[in-house]
Structure 1
Amino acid sequence: MVQGECNCGAVSFTVDAGISDVFVCHCSICRRSTGSGGIAVAVVANKALAWIKGQDQISYWSKPGHEWHTYFCQVCGTAVPGENDAESMYLPVGTLTSGCENLRVAHHLYVHSKASWEEIGDSGKQHIENYKP
């Protein structure tokens, strides 16, 4: 079982699914949203995620003109799991507190858009745009 929470503990969740692959998105939207080189996430089926507490503390923002959303704790601002598509959720792997010891970066997305100062130094496969298994 995988567990996670935000910085302040207002939002917490469990995931009843094995997670092994991490996807790092380097697009300009994710960079601006996180203030870093991008966001590292795992993707799980909707039914695998269960909220322990704080679902009412989650807010989201949608970039106008795009099908992009970011979900965050409205108390501390931590990125939290959100809708990836109709069947799946993305989990910001930085919020995982247990059950994540064997995670590895498998894919880098939108590498053509990565910050000029960022160097990708792991063995994750690099994709010019998105990757769909």
Structure 2
Amino acid sequence: MSWVANVMVSIDPDDRGNAEALGDWLREEAPWRRQPDAFGVGFLSPITDGWGGWKYPECWLWAGALNHADLDALRQRVADTSWRQPNAVQLFVMDQEESFFRLWMIRGGKLRQFAPLEPSEEDEGFYWTDATS
């Protein structure tokens, strides 16, 4: 049985080496969730080259579908990385059986979540603009 997490990391182009190292760690050393002796959960690939538009993107996006990934370990690895442009790092994670991405960004030297724990269409203090009004 598999357990899939969709993961994307948006970075500044200066941090390409760190994104590649994160992908290598995921492929070879990243621990499995609830299986302490299992390692390697997949990898991330750069997908920015396939973006549409006429301009060169100002960020790089790496993405992959990970299997059995210990997401706490992934967040810790992202937090512990010496990013050249830490404020540009964004980690998006959609775990299996979820229909939304959670977003983490590095602010004040810490990786912090910038999304509600559970998405809701109820007005719970979140603000948005209705594009049709």
TM-score normalised over the length of structure 2: 0.29
Which one has a larger percent strand, Structure 1 or Structure 2? 1
Q: Which has the larger radius of gyration?
A: 2
TM-score normalised over the length of structure 1: 0.29
Which one has a larger percent helix, Structure 1 or Structure 2? 2
